[in-house]
Structure 1
Amino acid sequence: MSRDRRRVRHPAPPGRLHAGALAERPRAVVVGGGIAGLTAATALAERGIAVELYERADHLGGRAGGWTATLPGGERVGMSRGFHAFFRQYYNLRALLRRTDPDLGGLTALPDYPLVDAAGRTDTFRDLPAVPPWNALAFALRSPTFTARDLLRLNARAALPLMNVTVPGTYRRLDHLDAAAFLARLRFPAAARHLAFDVFSRSFFAPPDRLSAAELAVMFHLYFLGSAEGLLFDVPRRPLGDLWAAAGRHLADLGADVRTGTPVEAVRPRPHGFTVQTRRGGRPADAVVLALDVPGLRDLVAASPGLGDPEWRGRVAAQETAPPYLVRRLWLDRPVAADRPAFLATGGLPPLDNVSVLDRYDEEAAAWARVTGGSVVELHAYAVPGARGPASARLLRRLHEVYPETEGARIVADLSEWRRDCPLFAPGTFARRPAVDGPVPGLVLAGDGVRVDLPVALMERAATTGWHAANLLLTRWGLAGHPLTTVPLRGRVAVLRRLAGLVPADGQGPSARRA
């Protein structure tokens, strides 16, 4: 349940409620079955559009997806690319989830997630005030990584852009800087920098010196300084694959044709639409949604020579991926200590970025732990330098350091995911990102690497671009769109906004009203 009275509701574009009122029912193909593609397909199908969704993997959900794996003992378990936090300010993602779970009973709240550094100092988000800036002040005052001298040394002038984040205004001011340079400009103490800032930047799977300072500022606004929803979050009670399988069934109930294990090979414009090529042949479409990760989008555009002008094609080809990340999930023959949190973030302990104990919240993992007396632990390493093997070994050593009781545990099963498919938001690249509105009529893009001028990030950016992409197509056909909701479009505290310098109203997103 949202508690931020200043959240912003962006009204749905007006129009007819169903394509049945049109002379001819439009056909749309959605390429990609991740969060963005599922959202766009749902938005279109609910308005009566004939939707076909193609996903190259054999499961839905994209990088947040899940599948079934077999353990050495023959047990079938859910597996994924790692822990995902469903924050309360993910309004547009939650709107998708509510299509199949109206009260979001499939999510459960975590009471806290501590942040620990190499010296053993621990910060916590438990019981913080919800409303900015009191949440940030309370966090700093009780943090063991801050001292009174540290607070006095902070460069308040350099921090003012954090107090008046706008999109795209903040990108115009800060996108030329990398996050590491911005942190140095703020004069944050090193330990607090690890815990309060590196945690955010590394959520983008990039080291701070390769991440835009503007992206970091927008993320800080979304989660902390711009929202009263707080920094605590919910997690799925069941394996991640269950969420997206339910979304796929909902699409089928709406009449959509959902095909996994079916990559799209090319998209060819034709006089009144497109031909979407798969191994099964060409499919006609009045509109196409490209909801792909960065490598997939680059490859498909390269294989579709008639799609877009050279300038647009060049921007797509120039999109980069972040460094590799590693997820290692261990089924251990004994439990971790009873006081271990479900999720622990770390700073200054490379390559380990966080540890999750799945049997604290995942019903399937909890059942396995009850039967075996063991535990299910997952280790995450973002922006990994070097090769997979050494990184995996270092991850295990770090686990033994932070949770010493695991050192004598026998590993019953060990599954890993090594991937490099997340977008890189490098300094100076915001203006060159492909936008939701594509280069030819009827072609739109969606995904967490796609530009949308709203304060969103990660899974919420994927869902937001999915709704927005569908709205652009529905408007072309005279059909009603779907509303969007975001955190406030600028800093919450008027006096701090004035100090930072008010940004003109240009680029603050669609016309909006408070919810």
Structure 2
Amino acid sequence: MAIRLGFSRRGLLRGAVAAGAVGAVRPAVAGADSGGRRVAVLGGGVAGLTAAHELAERGFAVTVYERRAWGGKARSVPVPGSAGDGRPELPGEHGFRFFPGFYQHVPDTMRRIPFADNANGVWNNLVSVPQARGARLDGDDFVVPLSVDGVGIAPEVFRETLGASIATALRMPMSEELYFANRLLVFNSSCDARRLGQWENTSWRDFVGAGERSHEFRALISRSLTSLLVAAKDDIASVRTIGTMGEQFLGNPLSIGNDGSIDRVLNNPTNTAWIDPWTQRLQALGVNMVLGTEVTGLDVRDRRISRAFATDNDGTPRVIDADHFFVALPAERARQLWSPEVLAVRPELAGMDRLFTDWMSGIQYYLRSEGGIVDGHVAYIDAPWALTSISQNSLWSNKLDSYGDGTVRDCLSVDISDWNTPGIRYGKPAKECTHEEIAREVWAQMTAHLNDRGPVLREADLHSWFLDPGITWQERTGRNTNADPLLINTAGSWQYRPEPHGNLENLYLAGDYIRTNIDLATMEGANESARAAVNALLEVTGSHTPRCRTFTLYRAPELDPLRRLDESRYATAQPNLFDT
């Protein structure tokens, strides 16, 4: 973790780490019902908490084990040493998060988490973001309203209307605007077989022909829709993944079937508005929450998991006994548990070694005045580190001056999506920059975009900054490490992503790497996967309790005849009708 006052060279504040001698093995709490209903959930991020929630509501005796903190990458992180005069510490985070209107699973869970007098629980803590700003280096910025009147989507109207709307904000030639609208139509009118057989194995860059297009097209259409929107890379992300997101953001102008407005955020730090109420709800349902335990192995007996092994933070080994085991860990940690014995029963899990992770982490700048950049998100179009940000104070009910020393008036929370491209100040990628160099470099890239027509960001207003604590500088190697990498949906990766249940009868997988309808490493994907895993358990146990509700993404019904036509065209090796 890193916290600095302005850009001073004060030492890094580090949390104390407790250490102890290895003691006797401690058995896990068995739970009240030992009749085949004890479930161990290994991992306390969104996937693990969702699984625990759904299981507990159905009467299972659930224990959740988490190594670091409840909420995983979705949690907020108190800034160490920043509290003062009875106020809590400043809120930091792994990176800002937003809740698109097409998210259905996470909002459904939120409605079942009580919060104060909210009629719909935590869900009422979601607030709409009305605008987004695209900031360029030359000052020709644009602001896009995020609530748009709907239009008809007959093929010709779809192309022309979308092309015209793009023209109001972008500087691409009209031919490229219409070309991009056509590419969206190609995907939206593609049948499922083509999406999985052709577009899953094609990169987004190749699909949109970015190499043959203008700089503006490459920056906005190829790069922005991947690295800025979903932290992917246009040369390796699949058309199926990026196209599905485009279908939701751009192909559903009426927001039909959406849970709410297209862009929503929480009205307070994530722990306050969501994670803390969630853990309290789980405990009220009888869930046993065990924090500070890292799972290290699984014991396989007769095609079942007989027990799990773990180590507590003080070094004490622990044996976890249960009837069913949910592995709800990130892909890079889950695959460390796939021993030869596990793979002998579920050999398909070996494919997880082919899944790709990269970095997307955040830094927060605490300001002594409100930023006034835009009432929503900002995308820094030409930033080599693919930056996006949001000013949080105007969206929060608990204002920033109620935290820390009371002088902070705003928090500019910034996501860094490209850690491999050299920056403009030090000429190094973020992975090779010290924490202070990262803070200076990000500030330089933002001011280059925002201050070309006047001082929007002023260093005199900078109170302090806080870098995602998962980023750790290694002096010996001159590089950072990242405890929380992000799964990237590369072209062709669907075949390596597992189902939530297989031949290990009592092992269930939940996480954003599981095959899901949303097909993207997100909170929504993690929640959806946990529901699928719980439904698998209900089938295995012959439970008569209701199955977890699941949702599908919107597809314009007006294009159904074209998708049916595309089925026959794909079956006879013909291209999509509009793929010219």
Please give the alpha-carbon distance, in whole angstroms, between the structure 2 residues aligned to 1:456 and 1:215: 7
> Partner of 1:36 in structure 2?
47
Pairwise CA distance, 1:220:
1.4
Higher normalized contact order (CA 8 Å, seq sep 6+, divided by chain length): 1
Pairwise CA distance, 1:486:
2.1
Please give the alpha-carbon distance, in whole angstroms, between the structure 1 residues aligned to 2:389 and 2:173: 27
Which of 93, 100, 124 aligns to 2:144? It is 124
> Partner of 1:388 in structure 2?
433
Please give the alpha-carbon distance, in whole angstroms, between the structure 2 residues aligned to 1:282 and 1:106: 39
Please give the alpha-carbon distance, in whole angstroms, between the structure 2 residues aligned to 1:126 and 1:290: 37
User: Residue 362 of structure 2 contacts residue 414 of structure 2 at CA under 8 Å; is this kept in 1?
Assistant: yes
Give the secondary-structure state (helix, strand or coil) at the position aligned to 1:493. helix
Pairwise CA distance, 1:231:
6.9
> Partner of 2:319 in structure 1?
282
> Partner of 2:407 in structure 1?
372
Give yes or no for the alignment of 1:409 onto 2:460: yes
Q: Are residues 232 and 313 of structure 1, via their aligned partners in 2, closer, same or farther at CA, if it must alter by over 3 Å?
A: closer
Please give the alpha-carbon distance, in whole angstroms, between the structure 2 residues aligned to 1:49 and 1:23: 10
Which of 80, 87, 94 aligns to 2:107? It is 94
Please give the alpha-carbon distance, in whole angstroms, between the structure 2 residues aligned to 1:269 and 1:132: 56
Please give the alpha-carbon distance, in whole angstroms, between the structure 1 residues aligned to 2:250 and 2:180: 18
- The aligned amino acid for 2:548 is H
Please give the alpha-carbon distance, in whole angstroms, between the structure 2 residues aligned to 1:399 and 1:297: 36
- The aligned amino acid for 2:407 is T
Give the secondary-structure state (helix, strand or coil) at the position aligned to 1:76. coil
Please give the alpha-carbon distance, in whole angstroms, between the structure 2 residues aligned to 1:287 and 1:87: 33
Give the secondary-structure state (helix, strand or coil) at the position aligned to 2:441. helix
Give yes or no for the alignment of 1:398 onto 2:445: yes
> Partner of 1:109 in structure 2?
128
> Partner of 1:16 in structure 2?
none
Give the secondary-structure state (helix, strand or coil) at the position aligned to 1:249. helix
User: Residue 408 of structure 2 contacts residue 463 of structure 2 at CA under 8 Å; is this kept in 1?
Assistant: no
CA deviations over 1:215-244 (Å, ceiling 9, x no partner): 111221233325534873111112112311
Give yes or no for the alignment of 1:212 onto 2:246: no
Which of 250, 267, 271 aligns to 2:281? It is 250
User: Residue 69 of structure 1 contacts residue 77 of structure 1 at CA under 8 Å; is this kept in 2?
Assistant: yes
User: Residue 237 of structure 1 contacts residue 362 of structure 1 at CA under 8 Å; is this kept in 2?
Assistant: yes
| Residue correspondences, number | 479
Provide TM-score, normalisation by structure 1: 0.83
Superposition pairs of residues 42-191 of structure 1, within 5 angstroms = 42-57=53-68, 59-72=69-82, 74=84, 76-101=89-114, 102-103=120-121, 104-119=123-138, 120-130=140-150, 133=153, 136-137=162-163, 139-151=165-177, 156=182, 158-164=183-189, 169-184=194-209, 189-191=214-216
Superposition pairs of residues 409-488 of structure 1, within 5 angstroms = 409-417=460-468, 418=471, 419=482, 420-453=484-517, 458-479=522-543, 480-488=546-554
- The aligned amino acid for 2:467 is S
CA deviations over 1:411-463 (Å, ceiling 9, x no partner): 32211023351112222221121222234112121111111255665221111
Pairwise CA distance, 1:264:
1.2
User: Residue 205 of structure 2 contacts residue 211 of structure 2 at CA under 8 Å; is this kept in 1?
Assistant: no
User: Residue 163 of structure 2 contacts residue 174 of structure 2 at CA under 8 Å; is this kept in 1?
Assistant: no
Give the secondary-structure state (helix, strand or coil) at the position aligned to 1:89. coil
Pairwise CA distance, 1:188:
6.0
- The aligned amino acid for 1:142 is T
User: Residue 166 of structure 1 contacts residue 455 of structure 1 at CA under 8 Å; is this kept in 2?
Assistant: no
Which of 358, 379, 394 aligns to 2:392? It is 358
Give the secondary-structure state (helix, strand or coil) at the position aligned to 1:471. helix
> Partner of 1:314 in structure 2?
350
Of 250-259 and 122-131, more deviation after overlay is shown by 122-131
Superposition pairs of residues 216-227 of structure 1, within 5 angstroms = 216-225=242-251
Q: Are residues 317 and 457 of structure 1, via their aligned partners in 2, closer, same or farther at CA, if it must alter by over 3 Å?
A: closer
Give the secondary-structure state (helix, strand or coil) at the position aligned to 1:383. coil
Q: Are residues 263 and 68 of structure 1, via their aligned partners in 2, closer, same or farther at CA, if it must alter by over 3 Å?
A: same
Q: Are residues 383 and 233 of structure 1, via their aligned partners in 2, closer, same or farther at CA, if it must alter by over 3 Å?
A: same
- The aligned amino acid for 2:246 is F
Please give the alpha-carbon distance, in whole angstroms, between the structure 1 residues aligned to 2:397 and 2:336: 38
Please give the alpha-carbon distance, in whole angstroms, between the structure 1 residues aligned to 2:97 and 2:238: 22
Larger radius of gyration: 2
Superposition pairs of residues 317-328 of structure 1, within 5 angstroms = 317-322=353-358, 324-328=359-363
Pairwise CA distance, 1:276:
1.7
Q: Are residues 29 and 23 of structure 1, via their aligned partners in 2, closer, same or farther at CA, if it must alter by over 3 Å?
A: closer
> Partner of 1:294 in structure 2?
331
Please give the alpha-carbon distance, in whole angstroms, between the structure 2 residues aligned to 1:145 and 1:363: 37
> Partner of 1:510 in structure 2?
none
- The aligned amino acid for 2:124 is G
Which of 329, 352, 371 aligns to 2:364? It is 329
Please give the alpha-carbon distance, in whole angstroms, between the structure 1 residues aligned to 2:289 and 2:558: 42
User: Residue 342 of structure 1 contacts residue 357 of structure 1 at CA under 8 Å; is this kept in 2?
Assistant: yes
Please give the alpha-carbon distance, in whole angstroms, between the structure 2 residues aligned to 1:166 and 1:494: 9
> Partner of 1:4 in structure 2?
none
User: Residue 41 of structure 2 contacts residue 327 of structure 2 at CA under 8 Å; is this kept in 1?
Assistant: yes
Q: 5+ residue gaps in structure 1? A: 1-21, 506-515
Q: Are residues 166 and 262 of structure 1, via their aligned partners in 2, closer, same or farther at CA, if it must alter by over 3 Å?
A: farther
Pairwise CA distance, 1:49:
0.9
Please give the alpha-carbon distance, in whole angstroms, between the structure 2 residues aligned to 1:326 and 1:84: 11
Give the secondary-structure state (helix, strand or coil) at the position aligned to 2:131. coil
- The aligned amino acid for 1:296 is R
Give the secondary-structure state (helix, strand or coil) at the position aligned to 2:201. coil
Task: Give the CA RMSD over aligned residues.
Answer: 3.1
User: Residue 75 of structure 2 contacts residue 94 of structure 2 at CA under 8 Å; is this kept in 1?
Assistant: yes
Pairwise CA distance, 1:295:
1.7
Please give the alpha-carbon distance, in whole angstroms, between the structure 2 residues aligned to 1:487 and 1:293: 24
Please give the alpha-carbon distance, in whole angstroms, between the structure 1 residues aligned to 2:343 and 2:177: 53
Q: Are residues 501 and 317 of structure 1, via their aligned partners in 2, closer, same or farther at CA, if it must alter by over 3 Å?
A: closer
Pairwise CA distance, 1:395:
0.8
Give the secondary-structure state (helix, strand or coil) at the position aligned to 1:399. helix
Q: Are residues 269 and 234 of structure 1, via their aligned partners in 2, closer, same or farther at CA, if it must alter by over 3 Å?
A: same
User: Residue 205 of structure 2 contacts residue 235 of structure 2 at CA under 8 Å; is this kept in 1?
Assistant: yes
Q: Are residues 360 and 394 of structure 1, via their aligned partners in 2, closer, same or farther at CA, if it must alter by over 3 Å?
A: same
- The aligned amino acid for 2:553 is V
Please give the alpha-carbon distance, in whole angstroms, between the structure 2 residues aligned to 1:259 and 1:294: 21
> Partner of 1:349 in structure 2?
383
Pairwise CA distance, 1:77:
2.3
User: Residue 336 of structure 1 contacts residue 403 of structure 1 at CA under 8 Å; is this kept in 2?
Assistant: no
CA deviations over 1:379-423 (Å, ceiling 9, x no partner): 221031122335443211022223333233243221102335111
Q: Are residues 169 and 284 of structure 1, via their aligned partners in 2, closer, same or farther at CA, if it must alter by over 3 Å?
A: farther
Please give the alpha-carbon distance, in whole angstroms, between the structure 2 residues aligned to 1:66 and 1:471: 30
Pairwise CA distance, 1:55:
1.0
